[in-house]
Amino acid sequence: MALTTRLTQKLGIEHPIISAPMAFAAGGTLAAAVTAAGGFGIIGGGYGEPDWLEREFAAAGNARVGCGFITWSLARHPRVLDAVLAHAPAAIMLSFGDPMPFAPAIKAAHALLICQVQAMKHAREAVDAGADIIVAQGAEAGGHGSLRATFTLVPEIADYLARVAPETLLVAAGGVADGRGLAAALMLGADGVLVGSRFWASKEAIVPERFQQAAVGADGDATIRTSVVDIVRKKEWPAEFTARVMKNRFVDDWHGREAALASAENAAHELDRYSRAWQAGDIDNTGVFVGEAAGLIHDVRPAGDIIGGIVAQAERALARSRTAT
**How many binding residues for its own copies (CB under 8 A)?**
53
Residue 59 CB, shortest distance to its own copies, in Å, is 31
Interface region with its own copies, contact rule CB under 8 A, candidates 21-29, 56-64, 170-178, 255-263: 170-178
From 184, 207, 214, 290, residue interacting with its own copies (rule: CB under 8 A): 184
Residue 222 CB, shortest distance to its own copies, in Å, is 9
- Catalytic, out of 15, 122, 144, 298: 144
Please, what sign has the CA dihedral across residues 241, 117, 45, 85? negative
Residue 77 DSSP symbol: S
Residue 307 CB, shortest distance to its own copies, in Å, is 16
From 33, 63, 183, 277, residue interacting with its own copies (rule: CB under 8 A): 183
From 15, 64, 144, 148, residue interacting with its own copies (rule: CB under 8 A): 148
CB-wise, 33 or 177, nearer to its own copies? 177
- The residues in 207-226 that bind its own copies, with binding defined as CB under 8 A, are 219-221, 224
The DSSP bridge pattern shows strands 223-226 and 192-195 to be unpaired
Concatenating the DSSP letter of every residue in 218-275 gives --GGGEEEESHHHHHHT----TT-EEEEE--HHHHHHTT-HHHHHSHHHHHHHHHHHH
From 58, 164, 187, 280, residue interacting with its own copies (rule: CB under 8 A): 187
Between CA 43 and CA 65 the distance in angstroms is 7
From 12, 108, 121, 166, residue interacting with its own copies (rule: CB under 8 A): 121
CB-wise, 221 or 265, nearer to its own copies? 221
223-261 burial code (b ≥16 CB/10 A, e <16): bbbbbbbbbbbebebeeebbbbbbebebbeebbeeeeeb
CB-wise, 64 or 122, nearer to its own copies? 122
Between CA 210 and CA 281 the distance in angstroms is 6
Interface region with its own copies, contact rule CB under 8 A, candidates 29-37, 105-113, 181-189, 258-266: 181-189
CB-wise, 85 or 161, nearer to its own copies? 161
Q: Does 176 participate in binding its own copies (rule CB under 8 A)?
A: yes
**Contact (Cβ atoms closer than 8 angstroms) between residue 95 and residue 114:** no
CB-wise, 219 or 299, nearer to its own copies? 219
Interface region with its own copies, contact rule CB under 8 A, candidates 50-58, 161-169, 180-188, 278-286: 180-188
Beta-carbon contacts of residue 240 (< 8 Å; ≥ 6 apart):
118, 146, 147
Q: Does 180 participate in binding its own copies (rule CB under 8 A)?
A: yes
In angstroms, the Cα distances linking 218 to 195, 201, 245, 247, 311 are 19, 13, 12, 10, 24
Beta-carbon contacts of residue 248 (< 8 Å; ≥ 6 apart):
283, 284, 285, 286, 288
Q: Does 9 participate in binding its own copies (rule CB under 8 A)?
A: no
Interface region with its own copies, contact rule CB under 8 A, candidates 26-34, 186-194, 227-235, 249-257: 186-194
The DSSP bridge pattern shows strands 91-95 and 112-117 to be parallel
Q: Does 269 participate in binding its own copies (rule CB under 8 A)?
A: no
144 is catalytic: yes
In angstroms, the Cα distances linking 315 to 70, 111, 124, 178, 321 are 33, 31, 33, 11, 10
Between CA 61 and CA 65 the distance in angstroms is 10
Residues designated as active site: 144
Binding interface with its own copies (CB under 8 A): 1-5, 119-121, 138-140, 147-153, 155-156, 158-159, 174-178, 180-181, 183-189, 219-221, 224, 291-293, 295-296, 315, 317-319, 321-322, 324-325
